[in-house]
Amino acid sequence: MHSIRLISSGIALVFCLAAGTQAADTPYRVPVAGDGIQRVAIVGGSYFFKPDHLVVKAGTPVELVLRAEPGIVPHRFVLDLPPDQVAIDAQLGEAPRVFRFTPGTAGRYPYYCPNKLLFFDSHRDKGMAGMLEVVE
């Protein structure tokens, strides 16, 4: 009984830490390239995304070039967008993968790695999370 109580208080602490990491990072304003695309490379690793706070313009195509740092831990990239837009859920590998979409609605949309091992915190909870901020 005693050990169960210790475990549950540890979980509560982790939830608090994860909530505190949401918006602490310097935003990176993605430039519009000569071909009119907002292009940015994102690297994922244990347990981070770089960059982890992107600012893009609505109505202009975005190209994400996603890859993972070398390592044995498998990672994914999930981007939540409103239901009428393309969302991304992709395995990350060392070879870059390209995803294009045009954000239509201003807002803040999380991206993260949902992978986890049984009984452990998800990679998202460990800090493998970022935010796509869409502005008008």
| CA Rg value for the chain | 16
The CA distance from 73 to 76, in Å, is 10
* Residue 92 Cβ vs Cu ion, minimum distance, rounded to whole Å: 8
The CA distance from 35 to 33, in Å, is 5
Instruction: Give the footprint of Cu ion on residues 79-118 (CB under 5 A).
Output: 113, 115
123 binds Cu ion (CB under 5 A): yes
Q: How many CA atoms lie within 13 A of 68 on its CB side?
A: 19
| Count of positions on this chain that bind Cu ion (CB under 5 A) | 5
Instruction: Give the footprint of Cu ion on residues 18-77 (CB under 5 A).
Output: 75
126 binds Cu ion (CB under 5 A): no
Q: How many helices (H) and strands (E) does the chain have?
A: 1, 10
**Looking at beta carbons only, is 30 or 128 nearer to Cu ion?**
128
Residues in touch with Cu ion (CB under 5 A): 75, 113, 115, 123, 128
